[in-house]
Amino acid sequence: MGEREKLVEEIGDGDIIRYFYLDKASSELIGYFDRMKLRLVESQDEVPFNAQVKSYLAASDGDGDPWIVKPVSTASEMLYHRACMLAYILDHATGTLAAPTTAVMIDGKMFRATKVVRHAMQISSYNYLESPYIGILRADLVNRWIYFDEDRNPNNYLVITNSKNRNFVVAIDYDKADMMSEAMKITGMEGRFGWQRTEKTRFLTLLRPEHFEGITIKEFERRLSAFTEIGMDEFLALARAAFSKYCDDPEEIAKKVSDNFARRREYVDCYFRSMFGPADISGKSCDDDYSAFGKSFLDMHNKKK
């Protein structure tokens, strides 16, 4: 059973599962979004305040579910947001609950679009440094690192509740994910777990490196394995579907983004496994052989920054 299917079992509510498209295979989503008929609506009642101040508009899909949309002015910007959609698709595939995100045509015009997360609270309404939130955010670092998403703050995580009064964290906002960069913009620190970033004014996570001390690889195993299980032929097909009809050479761009994903996924997997051991509680690897391999691998990729 994959991580998306496990998430479906954990949520249990059919309405939530349908709303977040967890009943669909990740490979179906791009085609589904491209066929979806969004229409602009006058009422702004479903548009969150933070989105209103950023000039988002209200829209509705064929099921009557609310979306927020924003016009896209250029073809290159549209291509960028189609790449951001791939980050959402990867979240969906790895069992990371997330707001559906895409870039589509509405009445012949280009828009980026995000489905509204109803009945939600910002994660800042909770103590996210305590369980279960801190564990969710720790695992989420894997995703944001792979996407080079350097703009995470409490506004980017919402909390919803199922019928059994269990809370679930929903990741939102993909417009700062950089799937195109071939450089390693985010690299791991040597000697202790941490990250070094090109962008110094934004945040990769709500957590600090000290919030990762005293834990083992078990905190990340499911998420790392979920990414590893994504076949590269499968992802390349997704990238082709994302960029087809939106650029002159979708095959070239799809191959570049696919190679970026493969390189980042391997980097992150290697770094985390070199830092966190299966029986270690100090935050350092207890597997010297793996750590040596990890350092060699990281050194090789650091030279590509």
Distance CA 305, CA 296 (A): 15
Gyration radius (Cα) of the chain, Å: 19
What is the pLDDT, as a whole number, of residue 294? 46
Of 68, 256, 31, the C-alpha closest to 173 is: 68
What is the pLDDT, as a whole number, of residue 301? 52
If phi over 0 gives left and psi between -120 and 50 gives alpha, with beta otherwise, what is residue 64?
A: left
Does a cis peptide bond (omega within 30 degrees of 0) precede residue 132?
Answer: yes
Q: Is 99 exposed, middle or buried, given 0-12, 13-18 or 19+ CB atoms closer than 10 A?
A: buried
Domains of the chain, start order = 3-115 (3.30.200), 140-152+178-302 (no CATH)
What is the pLDDT, as a whole number, of residue 198? 75
8 Å CB contact between 89 and 143: no
Buried b (16+ CB within 10 A) or exposed e, 127-164: ebeeeebbebbbbbbbbbbbbbbbbbeeebbbbbeeee
Distance CA 204, CA 198 (A): 11
Along the 305 residues of the chain, how does pLDDT read in single tens digits? Answer: 899 999 999 999 999 999 999 999 999 999 999 999 999 999 999 999 889 988 999 999 999 999 999 999 999 999 999 999 999 999 999 999 999 999 999 999 999 999 999 999 999 999 999 999 999 999 999 999 999 998 899 999 999 999 999 999 999 999 999 999 999 999 999 999 999 987 766 799 999 999 999 999 999 999 999 999 999 999 999 999 999 999 999 999 999 999 999 999 999 999 999 999 884 444 443 344 434 444 444 555 555 55
Find the angle CA(79)-CA(80)-CA(85) to the nearest 5 degrees: 95
Q: Is the pTM of this model over 0.75?
A: yes
Residue 32, token pair as written in the block? 């589904």
What is the pLDDT, as a whole number, of residue 202? 77
Helix (H) or strand (E) holding 106: strand 101-106
If phi over 0 gives left and psi between -120 and 50 gives alpha, with beta otherwise, what is residue 231?
A: beta
Distance CA 243, CA 235 (A): 12
What is the pLDDT, as a whole number, of residue 50? 87
